[in-house]
Chain A
Amino acid sequence: MPHSPLLASLGRHKLTVLLMVMQVALTCAIVCNVAAILGHRVTQLGLPSGVVEDELVMLESISVDANTDPLMRHDADLAALRQLPGVRSVAAVDALPFNGNNWSNGITLVPKGDVRLAATAFNGTPGELATLGLHLVAGRDFLPSEYLPMGTATDWDGINKVPATIVTRALTQQLFPGQDPLGKVIYPGDGPVRIVGVVDHLLRPTLDESAGNEYATVLPMLPDGGSITYVMRTAPQDREHVLQAAMARLAQLDGNRVLRRPQTFAQLREDYFRRDRTMISLLLAAAFGLLLVTAAGIAGLASFWVQQRRRSIGIRRAVGATRHDILRYVQAENFMIVSGGIALGVVLAYALNVLLMQHYALQRLPVFYVPLGAIALWLLGQLAVLGPARRAARVPPVVATRSG
């Protein structure tokens, strides 16, 4: 297929072609960046929390009576909850992935040394590991003798005395790359804490854009504040039932408290990501809207040009061009315009990315999104032009004989 008549014909519509190229370029730039943001959000949405999500239910209890010992109260509550039918195990904890209760400590490797990273302290009663279903990849669970109170009333000074911790693999890889982390000592507070176990995953209570979403230390510290979260592990089909029974049982045991936020872990996760899901659907709508408008523009312009050139198409048919030639001609023309747009769009995509990184906490545009966006636009262009191209191919040679 000789291309010179094609270029000559496009040359006659310089301004129109330029506008189309700019539209494709802008669409390409925006869609590539939107796709990258989408990819990042969807990845966050799918991060494994490390806990057995479909088997957990939880509720918060806030004591009104300041005169009873919180540790004894929690023990009594836990004993009562353990008796409920369907409850496999139960623990009293302060933090959970997505629950927002983030108590972070700067971790040093020598006393009063430089802070290497900040890690969330997950504290709970014995059985926390089994209840949450955390997966130990090395080491052991805590020994009963290692537990001590958090010391909420005395400035949380338990952190200075706690002897052992179980940490995430992500944390060990950051602090001790290539070494066996078991037996190593870290300083989340004033005193040394020995690593006795490693779990594969545990997300922090709040996520952010940084790499440290799994910097977590599980500590054998008993929560002793006024507010506590009870987590129960049960079969997935028993969750609602167990939750109701637990509410009723705790209210009956001691009515002098606030019971709130009874929910399954699935609900907790859903609430945490509600804004992200809104954002994802908006981004999808924007990307589809852009592609749709661009496709409509391409199709509209192509069918307009076909109408306008019926006579010259007829002449070409009359002098021997096959239908296939005409089809190919319109498609090639579209390919040229879209390619021009993509070439400009790739540059624009990176420029836009730099701009976005300056104003929002966004990452650099991953390389593979750009070819992906380019291919999508090429396909879209060919699809949009197919109808007009086939209409052009159907123009009979006899049109050449009529006056235009």
Chain B
Amino acid sequence: MLGYYATIAAASFRRNKAFAALMVLVIGLGIGASMTMITVFHVMSGDPLPGRSSRLFVPVIDPRPLDRGHVANAPSSDGSFTWPDAMNLLHAARADRQAAMAGGAVPVRPMQGGALPFYETGRYATADFFAMFGTPFLSGGGWTAEDDEQRARVVVLGHALSRKLFGDASAVGRTVRFKDADFRVIGVLDDWQPQPLFYAPMDSRAYGRSDQFFLPLQTALDLKLDFVGRLSCWGDTGDGRTSDQCSWLQFWVQLDSAAKMDAYREFITGYWREQQLHGRLPRPVDARLYGLMAWLTHQHAVPDDLRLQLSLSVGFLLVCMLNVMALLLATFLRRSGEISVRRALGARRRDIFLQLGVESSVIGFAGGLLGVLVALFGLWSVRQRPGGYAQLAHMDTRMLLATFALALIAGALAGLLPAWRACRIAPALQLKTQ
């Protein structure tokens, strides 16, 4: 019977070619536009560190002073730590692993020839960084907590920088010159580009970049290497990096069980209370612990503009569906005569409903095919944009299937109301009016 309905549907579309084409086009555009945005959203809100993210947490302690009056530039609580707090938590070592880190940028001096120095961005971190984030090493490894304490001049290079400096030869054991200090290369990372760069403060460049060197935080501070990222200060004891009135460090911990999570939350709450006894951290105690994915949401890792675009494309799909609904209803009602004859000949409402449902599904299916093409084109044009998340915008099998599913559901939904209305056409009355 379904086959027969499909034949009727095809015949009906042949009668109104332009009309059918219009409906397919409209639903195709709607599906295509929304699937483009949903796919971009899907890849951007993915897990940057699958398998590990559930054990990684950001403790948040708010070191800012109490608000006084209208403070227009009070640093917002972005989870940044002051140097003393970060070092206290680091040395307390209550988590399975913990690391403090900050963004850095250094002039790199190529050893050979008279090439000009170039600028490279990387991360100043403490020893646990590598083990905690499970960074893949091509050769060598990270440094130890002792190296941190002794301000060792060691460095781990990213794959790209290693190639740039040493070609295909092994870099481990070689020396690189950052600014005016020599560093011994102790490890080279394999291509490691978590997207977004979750451990850095979230900003407009969180996607599409990666760190090309890693060296001990204390060493960087000692050598006065340049930091990048936000430094928020308050109070009047100066703007120093080691001041307890300037926040600028990121702090991450690894906690392997729920019990440890609770224990750690209690620990930082206790730490906050204890510091208050020393006259620090004057804000009401409210220590928080965010999981990695929750942290990304909290920090608006996916830019607001993109979420706005997503809502817009869904609104567009909605208008397209209303449009197709109205057009389908008009075609169905125009065939009132035909329908009432079928009803008079004994077709049940259910049969009419099914027949018209098949018709709208055919529209939905054709629209879905067109929608996939539109979405592929949309994603291609997103990829043509420079930088950022643009390069991530690819459609995988799951999204492809989701596109078809969305098209079929949209088609069926758009057909539901018109079909319901049409199957309520009374058999006899319509015959009389003809």
Q: A residues near B, CB below 8 A?
A: 13, 15-16, 19-20, 22-23, 26-27, 30, 34, 37, 62-67, 104-106, 114-118, 155-157, 190, 212, 226-227, 251, 255-260, 274-275, 278-279, 282-283, 286, 289-290, 293-294, 296-297, 300-301, 304-305, 308, 356, 359-361
| Shortest Cβ gap from A144 to chain B (Å) | 28
Q: Are A294 and B334 in contact, with the CB atoms below 8 A?
A: no
| Shortest Cβ gap from A384 to chain B (Å) | 12
| Shortest Cβ gap from B35 to chain A (Å) | 14
* Given A66-B179, A275-B305, A155 and B330 contact (CB-CB distance below 8 Å): no
CB-contacts of B264-317 with A (<8 A): 304-305, 307-309, 312-313, 315-316
Q: Are A296 and B309 in contact, with the CB atoms below 8 A?
A: no
Indicate which residue in A256, A274, A304, A308 contacts B117 across the interface (CB closer than 8 Å): A256
A256 to B224, CA, bound (A): 18
Indicate which residue in A23, A259, A305, A359 contacts B116 across the interface (CB closer than 8 Å): A259
* Given A115-B73, A278-B385, A260 and B119 contact (CB-CB distance below 8 Å): yes
B309 to chain A: closest residue by CB: A282
The 3 A-B pairs with the shortest beta carbon distances in the complex, nearest first, are A118-B73, A114-B69, A19-B326
A193 to B320, CA, bound (A): 60
Q: Are B109 and A156 in contact, with the CB atoms below 8 A?
A: no
Q: B residues near A, CB below 8 A?
A: 19, 22, 25-26, 29-30, 33, 68-73, 107, 109, 114, 116-119, 179-180, 204, 224, 226, 236, 238-240, 304-305, 307-309, 312-313, 315-316, 318-320, 322-323, 325-327, 329-331, 333-334, 385-386, 417, 421
* Given A27-B319, A104-B73, A294-B319, A156 and B239 contact (CB-CB distance below 8 Å): yes
Q: Are A293 and B320 in contact, with the CB atoms below 8 A?
A: yes
| Shortest Cβ gap from B159 to chain A (Å) | 22
Q: Are A359 and B307 in contact, with the CB atoms below 8 A?
A: yes
Indicate which residue in B33, B69, B315, B329 contacts A115 across the interface (CB closer than 8 Å): B69
Indicate which residue in A190, A278, A293, A360 contacts B308 across the interface (CB closer than 8 Å): A360
Q: Are A361 and B312 in contact, with the CB atoms below 8 A?
A: no
| Shortest Cβ gap from B405 to chain A (Å) | 22
Indicate which residue in A15, A22, A64 contacts B329 across the interface (CB closer than 8 Å): A15
* Given A13-B333, A22-B322, A296-B323, A258 and B116 contact (CB-CB distance below 8 Å): yes
**Chief secondary structure at chain B's binding surface:** helix
Q: Are B316 and A23 in contact, with the CB atoms below 8 A?
A: no
Interface centre among A62, A104, A118 (most CB of B within 10 A): A62
Interface pairs (16), CB distance under 8 Å: A16-B330, A19-B329, A30-B316, A65-B180, A114-B68, A118-B72, A155-B240, A156-B239, A157-B238, A256-B117, A257-B117, A286-B33, A286-B313, A293-B29, A293-B323, A304-B330
A171 to B224, CA, bound (A): 35
Q: Are B331 and A64 in contact, with the CB atoms below 8 A?
A: no
* Given A16-B329, A226-B226, A155 and B239 contact (CB-CB distance below 8 Å): yes
In the assembled complex, which residues on chain A have CB atoms less than 8 Å from the CB atom of B119?
Answer: 62, 258, 260
| Shortest Cβ gap from A247 to chain B (Å) | 10
Q: Are B179 and A15 in contact, with the CB atoms below 8 A?
A: no
Q: Are A20 and B319 in contact, with the CB atoms below 8 A?
A: no
Indicate which residue in B26, B107, B117, B326 contacts A301 across the interface (CB closer than 8 Å): B326
Q: Are A308 and B334 in contact, with the CB atoms below 8 A?
A: yes
Q: Are A20 and B179 in contact, with the CB atoms below 8 A?
A: no
| Shortest Cβ gap from B145 to chain A (Å) | 28
Q: Are B312 and A23 in contact, with the CB atoms below 8 A?
A: no
A301 to B71, CA, bound (A): 58
In the assembled complex, which residues on chain B have CB atoms less than 8 Å from the CB atom of A226?
Answer: 226
Interface centre among B72, B333, B385, B417 (most CB of A within 10 A): B72
In the assembled complex, which residues on chain B have CB atoms less than 8 Å from the CB atom of A63?
Answer: 107
A167 to B179, CA, bound (A): 36
Q: Are A300 and B19 in contact, with the CB atoms below 8 A?
A: yes
